[in-house]
Amino acid sequence: MNAPNRKKDRLFAEQMLPGDFVFDEKVADVFEDMINRSVPGYSSIVAMVAILAESYTQANSKIYDLGCSLGGTTFAIAQQLPSTPCSIVAIDNSPAMISRMEKKRASLDITMAPIECRCEDILATEIFNASVVVLNFTLQFIEISERNRLIERVFAGMNSKGILILSEKIRFPDKKLNSLFVDLYHNFKGSMGYSQLEISQKRNALENVLIPETIDTHRNRLIQTGFSSFDVWFQCLNFASMVAFK
Ligand code: GEK
């Protein structure tokens, strides 16, 4: 299953001491393989986010990719964009991710829209004149107490009729269903070549770092912030992608 140019993720393959997951050099090195083998539907989501961005980009506005990692989604958007004049702002607070993304940007022939990469905390970043904002599996890493404030800042920086695309690992309100989907997800990871040790060590490392919420919690937060419409456009097991319009 491993793509030829992708370094294989074996970060949790050996027995290790417990510790929280961080987006450091080691993770950045194998991130493309890690996310493709860990998020069901990741490549379809990225391709569709690019199509959504293409449809909703407003002339002379900005597209924000918040928590861009290596720029997988940013570059997909840049390659999909129509001739509408606009620019892309890609932000991540991991220097390891941003430095690799900048190298990749320099090697690609992207002519449609300039891409500005910023190593910043998305809780502090300035957002303005945005017609498209993407949070592709990023909000889940923000402390719960900060999530409303972040969504309010995103909303304030968006233009009327702008689109927010929010992809997240989700939790189910029904406990039985929740554990069923978590078990199925671990089976999915097994089918992607991860061992039981890798699955359980990664799960422990993410426990305090990635906090999933229910679809209803996301819906309520977005509607209370002022977004006019909200729905889920993709779901596979406990992973979902949602859209909301200003
Ligand atoms: C993709 N969107 O490939 N400020 C900035 N970045 C942050 C913050 C923060 N406060 N907290 C976490 N991050 C990407 C995948 S990965 C998802 C996104 C995953 C960044 C963090 O450094 C990491 O690069 C990213 O959010 C989450 O479409 O690993 O499951």
Q: What is the CATH number of the domain that holds 102?
A: 3.40.50.150
Residue 232 is assigned to a structural domain of this protein: yes
Q: Are 76 and 37 within 8 A, CB to CB?
A: no
37 is a domain residue: no
Residue 93 has what pLDDT?
Answer: 96
For ligand 1, what atom is nearest to the CA of residue 73? 28
Which has the minimum average pLDDT: 118-122, 184-188, 197-201? 197-201
Q: Which pLDDT does position 40 carry in this prediction?
A: 94
**What confidence tens digit (pLDDT) does each residue in 94-108 have?**
999 999 999 999 888
Q: What residues contact residue 22 under an 8 Å CB cut-off, 6+ apart?
A: none
Quick check: is 53 in a domain?
A: yes
Residue 41 CA, ligand 1 centroid: distance in Å: 17
The tens digit of pLDDT for each residue in 44-95 reads 999 999 999 999 999 999 999 999 999 999 999 999 987 788 999 999 999 9
Distance 139 CA to ligand 1 centre (A): 8
Looking at the domain assignment, is residue 61 inside a domain? yes
Q: Is residue 188 part of a domain?
A: no
Residues in the chain: 246
Q: Is the CB of 151 under 6 A from ligand 1?
A: no
Does any ligand 1 atom lie closer than 6 A to the CB of residue 97?
yes
Ligand 1 center to residue 198 CA distance, Å? 21
Q: Is residue 50 part of a domain?
A: yes
CA–centroid distance, 177 to ligand 1, in Å, is: 27
In short, whether 143's Cβ falls inside 6 Å of ligand 1 is: no
Q: How far apart are CA 114 and CA 130, in angstroms?
A: 15
Cβ contacts of 11-18, under 8 Å, gap ≥ 24: 11/202, 12/194, 12/197, 12/198, 12/201, 12/202, 12/205, 13/195, 13/197, 13/198, 15/197, 15/201, 16/201, 18/204, 18/205
Q: How far is the CA of 137 from the centre of ligand 1 (A)?
A: 7
The mean pLDDT value of the chain amounts to 89
Question: Full-prediction pTM beyond 0.85?
Answer: yes
Ligand 1 contact via 122 beta carbon (within 6 Å)? yes
For the Cβ of 98 lying below 6 angstroms from any atom of ligand 1, the answer is no
Measure 66 CA to ligand 1 centroid, in angstroms: 7
Residue 24, in any domain of the structure: no
69 lines ligand 1 (CB under 6 A): yes
Work out the average pLDDT over 126-149.
97
For the chain, the domain total comes to 1
Q: Domain containing 127: what range?
A: 42-171+209-245
In the predicted structure, residue 28 carries a pLDDT above the cut 90: no
Question: Closest ligand 1 atom, CA of 38?
Answer: 30
> Which residue of 27, 69, 167 sits with most ligand 1 atoms within 8 Å of its CB, as the best mutation to test the pocket?
69
Using the CB atoms, write b or e for 171-208: b if 16+ within 10 Å: bbeeeeebeebbeebeebbeebebeeebbebbbebbee
- Residue 14 within a domain: no
Half-sphere exposure of 91 (CA within 13 A, CB side): 19
Q: Which atom of ligand 1 is nearest to the CA of 46?
A: 28
